[in-house]
Chain A
């Protein structure tokens, strides 16, 4: 591998951007493809797109020989706004499923070490906490405080940062009002349609842990199947 190619690849990785290093195993020829920059005319286009979703490296046989795809997808993380009951159930489940998870809540009654003993908690206002955990395309944002003062700003930031999943707790009516506020704050209609609300997969979840399952399911679906 050429050093310049290697440093390009490392730069993509450091910036938490997805990239694939394509190696022709017979000739050793290599190139880097960034996510979102797959040409329609590329004979490997569908292979590349599905690899970006699965995150798995592997070989592919083509008419012009065997290629190896080193797939570099940043570790996905979940940022939860609201240290509520649902979140207490969501944190261990998300960790088991392999996600990094951070919980943000400025309300000291909720944000206690007792309720979140695993160090996932930032007891700050989202505006400040998001400086420590910047949102990006490999982050899912889950807003569950029910309080516009806390939820609205991170939701808006998540849409701007193109988070792969953005979900907000609340009934359709609550969400309607939320959309009006976000629109006033400058969010576009197309962006607002990306918010998953009512939050989570429609599995009839009743208790906080069941809602956590529905949320985690929706996050995994968005990660593995993309937005359909």
Chain B
């Protein structure tokens, strides 16, 4: 995957698998659309566990905090959701997507169906 050029060792999808096998409950966030100068490309992933531990990046730090707290909800409800952050959005102001871009992030639970 043409993932994280800055941190080639970081592989959120492999981490998601590892954490789930370890018995942690996990969600995966994926950047599905960007406008303007969004810092991370479409297809970037962030993996989050039920305690708010995370690895990867969807925005280079701007909205990770908000995505993590939404992801914990997704883990509880086991229902995917789509989040939008941007300059026109109050949350984005608050969380500080200062780069002036807009991003949409899809957050889904990893289900350990067996």
Q: Which residues of chain A have a CB within 8 Å of any CB of chain B?
A: 1-4, 6-7, 9-10, 13, 23, 25, 28, 55-59, 68, 70-75
Contacts and interface: CB of A to CB of B under 8 A. Distances in A.
Query: Does more than half of chain B's interface fall in helix, strand or loop, or is it mixed?
Result: mixed
Contact of A6 (B13, B30, B33, B43): B13
A55 B113 contact: no
Given A23-B106, A58-B42, A72-B1, A6 B113 contact: no
Contacts of A70: 30, 43
Interface of B: 1-2, 13-14, 16-17, 20-21, 28, 30, 32-33, 41-43, 80, 82, 106, 108-114
Given A3-B114, A25-B106, 8 more contacts: A1-B28, A3-B17, A3-B112, A3-B113, A6-B17, A57-B42, A68-B32, A75-B2
Contacts of B2: 55, 73, 75
Residue among A73, A74, A75 with most chain B CB within 10 A: A75
Nearest to A23: B106
Contacts of B43: 56-58, 70-71
